[in-house]
Amino acid sequence: MKKKRWIKIGIGLLSFLLVIDIIASFYFYNLAIERNVKDFLVGNSDLDVSAEAMDVFTEGGWREWNQNQDFEQIEMTSFDGLNLQGYFLEAEEPTDKTVVLAHGYLGGASDMGLYGQYYYEELGYNVFTADLRGHGDSEGDYIGFGWHDRLDYADWIDLIIEKQGPDTEIVLHGVSMGAATVLMASGEDLPDNVKAIVADSPYSSVYDLFEYQLDRMFHLPAFPVLPSTSLVTNMRAGYTLTEASALDQVQKTDIPILYIHGNADTFVPTAMTQELYENTNSEADLITFNGAGHGEAFVTQKDRYVEKMEEFLAKYME
């Protein structure tokens, strides 16, 4: 009788823990992946930016530049039926060179005007950017963290080549989640028109990022919360946290990649970019910026950033 009692207690405890885990998995899905207001990021010290960077991010002249450009709005239907919005700006002088920009988590296409202005004015490129699924004016009730977005960007690339012609040369440039997006796309069968990738502050995989943030923000271990959250994500968004891996994709790519990261980044640790760089199959280069937080380097150390970027692009953009 005593043994049966302990068995019942054990089963009851396991059932209770299972219920808690299920509740937690739906909570974290809603918190991070479902399309909604992300209040949990308000006041997050890992996203604090320097005063110099804040001035540029919020009031920089690039925002006015972006608003004053005559971007052509382009619509596309994704592989799973979502209406996605893209924006194309033709260079002032005819060129075969186009930069395809990808924004970060909770951002939008217009945020990439910070980089688009430089490519447009200083390098003379055509500029394309898009609202990733679940962001801006694009449809989607979840955030893809780059995984489904990689296929969207492959389709955007085909559309740009169709629009600009077979001689089009493309560089993919993403920041944070956008950097992970273009890295995830790099492992797909992209056309030879894609000559280079610039990945600024990427994460190695969605699982790795969530594991890091779960510990940093909530002081919780990855198991069992993340495996169960991954199951919920697969049911509701159609991908798992483990398969959404930039690390796996760069091990298959043949596209040259420039990695960029700030050494003071506590939101996405610099070690993730180091791991990506060390495991990239194609030609790759890495530059880090002392004192730069998440996605800050282009603003706080712009001269060194663009010098390295232009040196890299000169090798691969004919």
Per-residue pLDDT tens for 152-172? Answer: 999 999 999 999 999 999 999
Nearest to 297 by CA among 41, 42, 49: 49
Mean pLDDT of 97-112: 96
Residue of higher predicted confidence among 9 and 207 = 207
Contact 305, 313 (CB under 8 A): no
Whether residue 244 has pLDDT greater than 70? yes
pLDDT above 70 as % of the chain: 87
Overall size of the chain counted in residues = 318
- Higher pLDDT: 56 or 103? It is 103
* Cβ–Cβ < 8 Å for 126, 101: no
pLDDT, residue 55, reads 57
C-alpha neighbours within 13 Å on the C-beta side of residue 288: 13
Q: Residues 58, 62, 67, 71: what is their CA dihedral angle, to the nearest 10 degrees?
A: -130
Q: Read off the pLDDT of residues 227-243 as tens digits, 9 standing for 90 and up.
A: 999 999 999 999 999 99
- Give 262's pLDDT tier (boundaries 50, 70, 90): very high
Distance CA 89, CA 218 (A): 42
pLDDT band at 59 (very low <50, low <70, confident <90, very high): low
- Render pLDDT for 186-239 as a digit per residue (tens, 0 to 9): 999 999 999 999 999 999 999 999 999 999 988 888 888 999 999 999 999 999
| Pairing mode, strands 126-130 and 83-89 | antiparallel
The reported pLDDT for the residue numbered 38 is 73
**124-156 CB burial, b ≥16 within 10 A, e <16:** ebbbbbbbbbbbbebbbebbbbbbbbbbbbbeb
Look at residue 272 in the predicted model and tell me its pLDDT.
98
CA atoms within 13 A on the CB side of 87: 22
C-alpha span between 82 and 75 (Å, rounded): 10
Residue 311 pLDDT: 98
Share of the chain above pLDDT 90, in %: 79
Q: Which of 47-61, 68-82, 87-101, 116-130 has the least mean pLDDT? A: 47-61
**C-alpha dihedral sign at 233, 234, 239, 240:** positive
Q: What is the per-residue pLDDT for 17?
A: 44
Average pLDDT over residues 302-313: 98
pLDDT at 157 (0 to 100):
98
Checking if the pLDDT of 316 tops 80, the result is: yes
Q: Which pTM was predicted?
A: 0.92
Residue 15 has pLDDT above 50, yes or no: no
Cβ–Cβ under 8 Å, residues 157 and 100: yes
In this predicted model, what pLDDT tens digit does every residue of 117-149 receive, in sequence order? 999 999 999 999 999 999 999 999 999 999 999
